Amino acid sequence: MKVGILMSLLLILLVQATPAADLVPISREQRQALGVTLAPLQKADAVWGPYFPGRIAVPNDQIRVVSATLPGLLTAMKVAEGEPVARGQVLAILQSPQLLELQRNLLQALTRLDVARAELERARRLHREGIIAERRYLEARSTHTIAQTEVEQWRQSLLLAGFSAAELERLVRERRLSGTIEIDSPLDGVVLEQLATPGQRLDALAPIYRIGRLDRLWVEVHVPLDELHGVAQGTLIELREPRLSGRVITIGRMVHGADQGILVRAVVEEGVDRLFPGQFVESRLRQQEEGEGLYRLPRSALVREGDRSVVFVVRDEGFEAVAVEPRAEDGEYLIISGDLQPDDQVAVSGTAAIKAAWLEARS
């Protein structure tokens, strides 16, 4: 009760002593009695937008789908989802009768090439000696060329089927057929998804694994149209948890029907070991770079009077009401602009009593 009476008396004294509408004279003793505390201005490094939900994704150029190269039986899978893999590492083993046919075709083509090569050498010698006509020599050369092309065709077919150059060389040297294909990893990365199971019969090009390289990741956010101002390629994006940052690389041109947002895609290159593909995160975009008159203040420092926002800046004579414009929210803080100086201090508590005296003086 005594505290309430004291507050009322102080307000009466303040109103009676107020010489100007925007200046409220308060002594140090009165400030202490009213519970007024001060905080220095903090220069804001940027204006940030609100947080929006986003999703972590693997860039398209870092994803590979490992597929069955031929129809066959998947007899073994060497890795599972979440495991790291190295380029060239064996991921799965496939048995395919069609592989035997490809090898047989190559060996037959090599035999025909040997015959065509011998015929060409004989025709060249006989033509040089004038025993056969040039037409016979050209026919032999054409047959040799066709045989070479056929051999190359079956070589490439085996390479596409998953044969390595070393396996091809061994096949040609030993003439021993194999019905087993070892399917290798095309890159260093992590198994993102297992798409088949051991014992399954697969068609050609049926997917087995999805593998991704995770040295950089995307953050994909749907941002409302009215929050896109100031956002461009290269704009900084900040994740709330974990506290990481990246740069915008894509701003979509289509409004999504579900949330009426625009897709904004950013790339994160540092600290990606703390992120996981498919993870949902909260992120915000930097909407304006550092500029004159941008300050960061606790929300309690802002006082609203109608459509006007003010802060109370401490002066020798008391407090001055300075009009400010809120620019963005930053957790428990606001980013504001106004006619302020970097060394100003503002009231962050007891503002209700100062506002009451200020309004009374203006009435």
Tokens found for residue 78 = 């060497």
CA 218 to CA 59: how far, in whole Å? 6
CA 253 to CA 61: how far, in whole Å? 21
- The CATH classification number of 52-59+216-289 equals 2.40.30.170
CA 267 to CA 356: how far, in whole Å? 50
pLDDT digits 0-9 by tens, 276-301: 999 999 999 987 655 557 888 899 99
- Contact between residue 154 and residue 106 where contact means Cβ atoms under 8 Å apart: yes
- Choose which CATH entry (2.40.50.100, 3.40.50.2000, 3.40.1190.10, 3.40.47.10) describes domain 63-90+181-212: 2.40.50.100
What's the pLDDT at 13?
45
- Contact between residue 139 and residue 127 where contact means Cβ atoms under 8 Å apart: no
Q: What integer best gives the mean pLDDT of the chain?
A: 88
Q: How far is CA 109 from the centre of its chain?
A: 50
List helix spans (H) across the chain.
Answer: 2-17, 28-33, 97-128, 134-160, 165-174, 351-362
Show the CA angle centred on residue 39, arms to residues 37 and 42, nearest 5°. Answer: 165
Tokens found for residue 8 = 């009322």
pLDDT digits 0-9 by tens, 93-126: 999 999 999 999 999 999 999 999 999 999 999 9
Helix %, strand %, coil % for the chain, to 5?
A: 30, 40, 30
Share of the chain above pLDDT 90, in %: 63
Q: Is the pLDDT of residue 11 over 50?
A: no
Tokens found for residue 9 = 């008396």
Look at 200-204, 234-238, 331-335, 337-341 and tell me which has the smallest mean pLDDT: 331-335
Q: What is the dihedral of CA 199, 201, 203, 205, to 10 degrees?
A: 0
What's the pLDDT at 83?
97
Look at 10-19, 283-292, 312-321 and tell me which has the smallest mean pLDDT: 10-19
What's the pLDDT at 16?
46
Tokens found for residue 121 = 């050498």
Report which residue type is found at 178.
S
Q: Are strands 23-24 and 318-330 parallel, antiparallel or unpaired?
A: antiparallel
**Cα four-point dihedral sign 104, 107, 112, 113:** positive
Give the 3-state DSSP-derived string for 286-350, with helices as H, strands as E and coil as C.
Answer: EEEECCCCEEEEEHHHCEEECCEEEEEEEECCEEEEEEEEEEEEECCEEEEEECCCCCCEEEEEC
- Choose which CATH entry (3.40.1280.30, 2.40.420.20, 3.30.750.24, 1.20.1270.360) describes domain 2-45+292-362: 2.40.420.20
* Spatial CA neighbour of 159 closest among 37, 261, 69: 69
Tokens found for residue 148 = 């070479």
Show the CA angle centred on residue 105, arms to residues 100 and 111, nearest 5°. Answer: 130
Query: 35: left (phi > 0), else alpha (psi -120 to 50), else beta?
Result: left
CA 46 to CA 291: how far, in whole Å? 8
